[in-house]
Amino acid sequence: MAGVACAATTSLTVLVAFRFVQGTGAAAGTVIARAMVRDTHEGSAAARLFATMMAVLAIAPMVAPLIGGILLTHLGWRAIFTTLAVFGVGLTSMTVLSLEETLPERKPFSFAAIAPGFARFVRTKEAPRPALVIALGFAAQFAFISGSPFVLIGGYQVKPAHYGFYFGATALALMAGSATGARLLKGGTPRRVVRIGGAVLLGAALLLLALVHAPWSGVLGLMAPVLGCFFGLGLVGPSAAAMAMDPVPDIAGTASAIIGFLQMTAGSLSGYVVAKVGGESPQALGWQMALLAAASAMVIFLGLTPRRAGQAAAA
């Protein structure tokens, strides 16, 4: 519905309003998908599925701009929203026809009923810190997404036609991190994989700070540690999500919504700051990414302390 409205409107205000509706629908899909995984799996099994989800979702940043560019060039901007509407109809049909309910007992929806779940998530000792790790990592990711066009094209004089290769490389690094994390989870716990990812993030952050200030490093001096950072995010994200949702299985949807809210809030604020303050400066982008990645690592090493033996075995 929102896609059709966006394609048909002649008003910018209406377009923005229905884009908001469209974004709400897209966000619901992510929240529900995470909750369904937690309804049916826990611990390492849930983290492996989250890793698979992240690896698949990482394809979107590589493919979407290409498809959007083709549609815009040959059919105009309205075709983009028409295509999204068609995909929406297809996904809705698949959901209705093939998706089974994973929640054992569904409760009637009301804001009064879900509010205690938000409070419980915050009060549960093992839940908020992994969610904070995800939010800080996502903020580092969005700093690059928002700032890289200015830095690479304006600062390093990368040809606009070549920018997609740099952007696609970060998506591949994220996929590689997710795939590596999934393999590590076959013989380890989410907590162990998160700590390995935290070490990668911290190392990438330190290397990034060193290289962006080196006059000889150039664009590769920025991209090499950035790829390391994205690889670390691929390691950390799925296992941290499993750790955040594991202690509250009966409110998986609420937990997933909180994780998504923190992610998007942190990402939007980070993107705004780097675009507003950093401009074409690789040093500004490097510092922001490095500080956020290092902060995520510090929460891992200082906040996600090992639990007692019996609890760790269950993780």
How do residues 130-171 score in pLDDT, each as one tens digit?
Answer: 999 999 999 999 999 888 888 888 888 888 878 878 888 898
Kindly state the percentage of the chain with pLDDT values over 90: 25
Does residue 315 form part of some domain?
A: no
Quote the domain boundaries for residue 158. Answer: 2-98+114-308
Does residue 107 form part of some domain?
A: no
Does residue 266 form part of some domain?
A: yes
Q: How many domains does the chain have?
A: 1
What rounded mean pLDDT belongs to the chain? 84
**AA identity, residue 296:** S
pLDDT the model gives residue 106: 65
CATH number at residue 213: 1.20.1250.20
Does residue 314 form part of some domain?
A: no
Does residue 104 form part of some domain?
A: no
Q: Show the tokens assigned to 30.
A: 């992510």
124, pLDDT greater than 70:
yes
